Amino acid sequence: MIYVVCAVIYREGKILIAQRSEKMKLPLKWEFPGGKLKKGENEEQAITREIKEELNIEILPFQRISSHTHDYGSLKINLIAYLCEYISGEIKLLEHLDFEFVYFEDLKGYDFAEADIPVIEKLKTLL
């Protein structure tokens, strides 16, 4: 089981989503950016670090919105999602293929990683 934190970054009524590159696992799937928790880090530190590494921006995680496990067969993950505020920086795609800011209602038009579906369901009750 691997522990993965992901950021739902909210800005001006829209949510930041990112598309995984061909070279990553789950190629071309859309996701909430983030990554694996490292030893000695808490969840907020991990998510802040991952977003800086992947997108070059500063964010502030302010609400833990969900934590659930998903079994991909060859890989089992515990995905932990945080609602985050965009603070500063210009987005640079350092790992992903693409990104978009989308309204919640438009998320259904994107092919998300399976593990993200419960996160989207949870968001529905919050936004």
Ligand X SMILES: Nc1nc2c([nH]c(=O)n2[C@@H]2O[C@H](COP(=O)(O)OP(=O)(O)OP(=O)(O)O)[C@@H](O)[C@H]2O)c(=O)[nH]1
Site residues (CB under 6 A) for ligand X? 4, 6, 24-26, 31-36, 75, 77, 79, 113, 115-116
Alpha-carbon 98 to chain mean position: 13
Which two tokens mark 102?
């989308």
Give the residue nearest to ligand X (CB): 35
- For 43, the enclosing helix (H) or strand (E) is helix 43-55
- Taking the complex as a whole, the smallest distance from the CB of residue 109 to ligand X amounts, in Å, to 17
- Taking the complex as a whole, the smallest distance from the CB of residue 94 to ligand X amounts, in Å, to 11
- Taking the complex as a whole, the smallest distance from the CB of residue 41 to ligand X amounts, in Å, to 11
The contacts of residue 80 (CB under 8 Å, 6+ apart) are 3, 4, 5, 6, 43, 64, 66, 67
Q: Phi and psi for 25 in degrees, rounded to 5?
A: -65, 155
Query: What are the CA-CA distances from residue 70 to residues 20, 45, 60, 67 (Å)?
Result: 18, 23, 26, 10
